[in-house]
Structure 1
Amino acid sequence: MALVRRKKWLAGARSLIYLLLQAIITPPYALVTLACYPLSPHQRYRVTYGWTRLMLFLLWHVCGLHYRVIGRENIPSQPSIILSKHQSAWETLALQQIFPPQVWVLKKELLRIPFFGWGLAMTSPIAIDRSAGKAALEQIVEQGKERLKQNFWIVVFPEGTRVPPGSKRKYRIGGAWLAVHANTLLVPVAHNAGEFWGKNSFIKYPGTIVVSIGEPVNPAGMEPAELIQRMETWIESETARISNAESRNSD
C-alpha cells in the first residue's frame, strides 16, 4: 500500500508540473495562433500543431507517458476519416502526431473556451450543433467534403464524449454517414489511453499507451448503419484485447 501511495503521489506531482507548464505556455501560444489567421488552413495547422508537440513532449518527459502504435501500415495514402475510441484528452493530441494533418468533428461549444477554443478554431474544425438532428449530418457532409478537398483528414469520436475504460456509449452515425456520402475510406482506431489519463482526471500515470490502427474500410455499397456497426465491433473488441494484453504484461 505504501508503494501504491508513493506512486500516486509521484504521478500527482508530475501532473501538477505538467499543468503549470501548460498554463504558462498556452495563453501566449494561443495569441500567436490567432495572429496566423491570414495564413492558409494548412499553414495555420502547422502552427497550432506546434503546441500539440510541446504538450506531448511534456507528457513524455515530465509525466513519463509514452505510446506505441500497432498497424501503422494500415494508414492510407489519401485523406480519410478516422473513427477513434475516446477515453481521454490524450488521443486529441496524439492522433495529430500519428496521422497526417487533420480536422475534427466537434461540438461548436468547444470553440468558446478561452485560449484553447480560440486556437482550436484556427484548425478549421467541423463544428456542429449536435441537437440539430439531420441538419447536423448535413453539416458534417457539406463541411467534410470541403475539408477532404483541402487534403485534410477528418477525426470523429463516434461516442461523442470520453468514456471510461471498460465502458461504451452508443456510436453516433455521423462518421459513417460522411464516409458513405463522400465515398471516403474509414479508418478505425482503438487504444487504452484512459487507463493512464482518465476522463476529467488530474493525474496522468506513467506508462506506455497502445494505439491500434485497423485496416481501412471502403464504404462502397454499404449503408451508414451497417458501416458504423462494423466499426463499433472492431474498435470495442480491439480496445478490450489491448487492455487485457497490457494487464497480463503488467502482472
Structure 2
Amino acid sequence: MLLIRNLIYWLLVAIVTPLFFLGLFIGAPLPRRTRHVIGESWARLLTWLLWHVVGLRYRVIGAENIVKEPAIICAKHQSGWETLALQEIFPSQVFVAKKELLWIPFFGWGLALTNPITINRSDRANANRLMLEQGTNRKQHGFWISVFPEGTRTRPGVAGKYKLGAARMAKQLDMPLVPVAHNAGEFWPRNAFLKHPGEITLVIGPAIYPRDDVGPEAMTRQAEAWIEARQREIGGVGPFAHPDERKARTA
C-alpha cells in the first residue's frame, strides 16, 4: 500500500508540475506577486497530495507566534517537505537559495520567477552585500524570507552548524527572526522516493527581535537553542527517527 500511494503521488506530481511551470513561464511578464501565487499554489497542491494520497499529515503548534509584519523564517531543514509546507503555513515568502539551483532546467527557471534570494557561494566577498540588496527589495514588496540556517538538510536527531546568515539579515533589514522546528525528516528522509504516512509536528517559536546590543552571533545561538530543544521534544515518533530520540520517547 505504501508503494502504491507513493506511485500515485509521483504520477500526479509529474502531471501537474509541468502545467504550473508553464503557467509561470506564461506569467513571466506579470507582477512578481502574481507570479508568486502560481508557485505557492503548486506547493500547496503538493502538500495536499501528500496529506490525502500518501497520508503524510501535519499539525502546527505556536501559530500565534506568526507576527503581522514580514519576518525571517529560521527553520530546521530535514527534508523536502518544509520547502512546500512553509509556503502554506506562513504568509507569502521567498527562499534563500544557492545560485546554481537556477541552472537546473525547468525547475531552476521556474524558481527564478518566484523571486528567490540567490547566493553565489564562490563569491563570499560580495555575498553579504548582494543578500542585503535582494533582501531589502523583497521586504519592500511585503515578502517574508525563509532561511535554513544549517545550509543543508540534516538527519533527524542531528544538529548541523548554524550559520549567521539568517540573524545577520534580520539585523541588517530590521526584521524579526522566527524560529521553526519540525520532525519531517522522520517521515521523508533526504533524497528518498518513498514518503511515509504519519503526522509531522511543526513548532513556531516567539519572534526574536533585533536589538542594538545583541549581535547576529547571539541571535543565532538563541534561535539554535530554541529549535534544538523543540527538536528533542517532538522527535522520536517517525519511522526514520534517531534511535536515541526514539529510546528517550519510549523510556
Q: When the two structures are superposed, what TM-score results if normalisation uses the length of structure 2? A: 0.92
Shift of 1:50: 1.5
Shift of 1:114: 2.3
**C-alpha distance in structure 2 between counterparts of 1:131 and 1:43, whole Å:** 32
The alignment status of 1:110 with 2:101, answered yes or no, reads yes
Tell me if the contact between 1:12 and 1:202 (Cα under 8 Å) persists in the aligned partners.
Answer: no
**C-alpha distance in structure 2 between counterparts of 1:134 and 1:211, whole Å:** 35
The alignment status of 1:140 with 2:131, answered yes or no, reads yes
User: Could you tell me which of 172, 176, 191 is aligned with 2:182?
Assistant: 191
Q: Deviations over 1:31-60 (max 9, x none)?
A: 111111111111111111111121111101
Give unpaired runs (5+ residues) of structure 2. 239-245
**C-alpha distance in structure 1 between counterparts of 2:202 and 2:135, whole Å:** 25
Tell me if the contact between 2:186 and 2:237 (Cα under 8 Å) persists in the aligned partners.
Answer: no
- Map residues 207-226 of structure 1 onto 2, 5 A cutoff: 207-221=198-212, 222-226=214-218
- Map residues 80-229 of structure 1 onto 2, 5 A cutoff: 80-221=71-212, 222-229=214-221
Give unpaired runs (5+ residues) of structure 1. 1-9
Which residue of structure 2 lines up, in the alignment, with residue 7 of structure 1? none
Which residue of structure 2 lines up, in the alignment, with residue 235 of structure 1? 227
> Quick one: which amino acid aligns to residue 224 of structure 1?
P
Return 70-79 or 140-149, whichever deviates more.
140-149
**C-alpha distance in structure 2 between counterparts of 1:23 and 1:64, whole Å:** 19
Secondary structure (helix, strand or coil) at the match of 1:217 reads coil
Which residue of structure 2 lines up, in the alignment, with residue 6 of structure 1? none
> Quick one: which amino acid aligns to residue 4 of structure 2?
A
Which residue of structure 2 lines up, in the alignment, with residue 24 of structure 1? 15
Shift of 1:244: 4.5
Secondary structure (helix, strand or coil) at the match of 1:215 reads coil
Return 219-228 or 152-161, whichever deviates more.
219-228
**C-alpha distance in structure 1 between counterparts of 2:236 and 2:199, whole Å:** 14
> Quick one: which amino acid aligns to residue 24 of structure 1?
I
Shift of 1:199: 0.5
> Quick one: which amino acid aligns to residue 44 of structure 1?
R
Shift of 1:121: 1.1
**C-alpha distance in structure 2 between counterparts of 1:236 and 1:137, whole Å:** 26
Shift of 1:12: 2.5
Q: When the two structures are superposed, what TM-score results if normalisation uses the length of structure 1? A: 0.92
Secondary structure (helix, strand or coil) at the match of 1:241 reads helix
Tell me if the contact between 2:35 and 2:114 (Cα under 8 Å) persists in the aligned partners.
Answer: yes
Tell me if the contact between 2:78 and 2:153 (Cα under 8 Å) persists in the aligned partners.
Answer: yes
Shift of 1:134: 3.9
% identical aligned pairs? 50
Secondary structure (helix, strand or coil) at the match of 1:130 reads coil
